[in-house]
Chain A
Amino acid sequence: MSVQKNLLLICRKAPYGNALPREAIDIALAASAFDQNVSLLFSGDGVWQLLKQQKSDSINSKNHGKVLSALALYGIENIYVDNDSLKQRNLSKDNLLVDTKSVTINEIKALCNNCDTIFNF
Chain B
Amino acid sequence: MILHTINKSPYSSAIFNDCLRLCSDGDAILFIEDGVYATQQGTDSYQLIEQHPEVNFFALAPDLEARGLTSDQAKVLTVDDNGFVELAVKYQKVQSWY
Counted as pairs of residues, one from A and one from B, with CB atoms less than 8 Å apart, the total is 28
CB nearest neighbor in A for B18? A44
- Smallest distance from the beta carbon of A88 to chain B beta carbons, Å? 12
Residues of B within 8 A of A69 (CB): none
- State the CA gap A40–B88 with chains docked (Å): 23
| Cβ–Cβ contact A105 & B21, under 8 A | yes
Residues of A within 8 A of B97 (CB): 120
| Cβ–Cβ contact B96 & A120, under 8 A | yes
| Cβ–Cβ contact B18 & A118, under 8 A | no
| Cβ–Cβ contact A120 & B24, under 8 A | no
CB nearest neighbor in B for A117? B93
Residues of A within 8 A of B22 (CB): 105, 108-109, 112
A12 interface hit (Cβ, 8 Å): yes
| Cβ–Cβ contact B24 & A113, under 8 A | yes
Cβ-defined partner of A109 (8 Å) among B14, B18, B24, B96: B24
- Smallest distance from the beta carbon of B81 to chain A beta carbons, Å? 22
| Cβ–Cβ contact A112 & B18, under 8 A | no
Q: How many residues of A contact B (CB 8 A)?
A: 13
Cβ-defined partner of B2 (8 Å) among A12, A43, A113: A113
- State the CA gap A43–B18 with chains docked (Å): 9
- State the CA gap A118–B24 with chains docked (Å): 14
- Residue-by-residue, is B1-25 near A (CB-CB < 8 Å gives 1, otherwise 0)? 0100000000000100010011110
B95 interface hit (Cβ, 8 Å): yes
- Smallest distance from the beta carbon of A14 to chain B beta carbons, Å? 13
Residue from B22, B23, B93, B97 whose CB has the most chain A CB atoms within 10 Å: B22
| Cβ–Cβ contact A118 & B93, under 8 A | yes
- State the CA gap A70–B94 with chains docked (Å): 29
| B interface, CB within 8 angstroms of A | 2, 14, 18, 21-24, 93-98
**20 residue pairs bridging A and B, Cβ less than 8 Å apart:** A12-B18, A43-B18, A44-B14, A44-B18, A105-B22, A108-B22, A109-B22, A109-B24, A112-B2, A112-B22, A112-B24, A112-B93, A113-B24, A116-B93, A117-B93, A118-B2, A118-B95, A120-B95, A120-B97, A120-B98
